[in-house]
Amino acid sequence: MSETTEPNVGSFTVGGPLTAEAAGTIQVPEHEEWTLPNGFAWLFPGEGNPGGLARPVIMADGFNLGRSKLDLLYQGLESGYQFISDLRRRGRDVILLGFEERSASILHNAEAAEAAIMRATAEKAGRARLVVGGFSMGGIVTRYALAKMETQRMDHQTALYFSFDSPHRGASIPVGVQAFSHFIPFPNDFAKQMNSPAARQMLWQHYDKDTGEIGIAPERTEFLAARERVGNWPQIPMKIGVANGRADGIGLPEVKPGEAALRIDRIYPGTTFYTQAQGDDVTAAYLNRRFPKAEKTITTDGFPELDGAPGGTLHTYKILADTMRKLGGRTDLSHEDVCFVPTVSAVAIRDIDKQDDLYANIGEVGPEESELDEFLCSSTTTAHTTMTEELCTWITDRLTD
């Protein structure tokens, strides 16, 4: 390592458990591959199906950097609870939808979803209608695609739409972490991911690397307007969703607002990230680097206590700490996980910019206020897109013939 540069973070990115790494030795069975605009799909026939598509279920990949790795997605969906196997045992043909670039615009990747839906409707046998949905960003992509198809009077033949911990009202990456990705003094995958079109569209607040300002990205404003133009939601299918966070307003009690979550020494000496607290001029992070010498304090105004909120969690600080240690740094890690997709966002019942809404007891709010027809929240806080038996069986029990 040069004495005049900070160590390179390499391919470090923040991703969910479904596609972060190989899940053991699960073998991906033989499958047909479809080539689609801006994407591709793998088809896994259901057990006992005579040929041709039968009762297809289209499931879209989530957010990360680069081309979808459907082998890892398959393994993630078969870890813990065997979601794909369960669907295939029920006679469902499973279609995993991937994207050429997962961090591209949601509107761009919706073209792949639309093409997969049209091919499935053209090739399916019988009168059975489709099930279409996705995980995290995949639920947002398919939601938009179905709504757009209805606006254009295209018959998507979909009876059920589902989302799995999708950020319908926005997701949260600590703004100090976002800022740090650009504070690293060379191009890196982490910064590319944080500044990508999809990240700008989904994050409720985004750190602008050029101005240093924190706010709603123009891409998010444009995306929400595009979604509004197609009616926000598809109207024909039943709409269901699950959240990896709890419904009772209880989040991560060990994550107290304003605490040091992670401190880095040796490299980026003294750099410290704090759990998000309420108030104005609140310090979210102190960033320091040696070469070229620079330091910066990241502050927020009017934020709710996002990091400890009820919702599906991400190993944000653990991933960052592990990366820094591999590069020779010393870390003091107090909180590995923070909320990524708040429960109220995943079940489309409240926005996430106000403390009372973010920590709302959904049972007291009233489930009829959700934009979904039906939803389920996890009984315990679980990691974002973790496939639990509780959530998976709830979805499969609602599949229509």
Q: What is the pLDDT of residues 134-176, one digit of tens each?
A: 999 999 999 999 999 999 999 999 999 999 999 999 999 999 9
The pLDDT tens digits of the residues spanning 86-121 come to 999 999 999 999 999 999 999 999 999 999 999 999
pLDDT band at 8 (very low <50, low <70, confident <90, very high): low
Predicted pLDDT at 3: 41
pLDDT band at 244 (very low <50, low <70, confident <90, very high): very high
H or E element, residue 376: strand 374-377
The pLDDT tens digits of the residues spanning 310-357 come to 999 999 999 999 999 998 899 999 999 999 999 999 999 999 999 999
Predicted pLDDT at 320: 93
Q: In the chain, what percentage of residues exceed pLDDT 90?
A: 83
What does the alpha-carbon distance between residue 111 and residue 146 come to, in Å, rounded to a whole number?
10
Instruction: Find, among 43, 38, 199, the residue nearest to 113 by Cα.
Output: 38
Average pLDDT of the residues in 18-30: 71
Predicted pLDDT at 191: 93
| CB-based contacts of 166, cutoff 8 Å, min separation 6 | 134, 135, 136, 137, 138, 139, 140, 143, 241, 341, 346
Predicted pLDDT at 401: 61
Q: Where are the beta strands (DSSP E) in 51-90?
A: 57-60
- Report helix, strand or coil for 133: strand
Average pLDDT of the residues in 192-201: 96
Average pLDDT of every residue of the chain: 93
pLDDT band at 31 (very low <50, low <70, confident <90, very high): very high
User: Minimum mean pLDDT among 90-99, 120-129, 199-208, 223-232: which range?
Assistant: 120-129
360 pLDDT above the threshold of 80: yes
User: Cα(first)–Cα(last) distance of the chain, in Å?
Assistant: 60
Predicted pLDDT at 4: 44
Is the Cβ–Cβ distance between 34 and 109 less than 8 Å?
Answer: no
What does the alpha-carbon distance between residue 271 and residue 297 come to, in Å, rounded to a whole number?
10
pLDDT band at 1 (very low <50, low <70, confident <90, very high): very low
Question: Rounded to 5 degrees, what angle do the CA atoms 312, 316, 320 make?
Answer: 165
Predicted pLDDT at 182: 95
Predicted pLDDT at 237: 97
The pLDDT tens digits of the residues spanning 49-95 come to 877 788 999 999 999 999 999 999 999 999 888 999 999 999 999 99
Any idea where the domains of the chain sit in the sequence? 32-169+219-250+370-396, 175-215+251-342
Task: Provide CATH code, domain 32-169+219-250+370-396.
Answer: 3.40.50.1820
Average pLDDT of the residues in 195-204: 97
Q: What is the pTM of this model?
A: 0.94
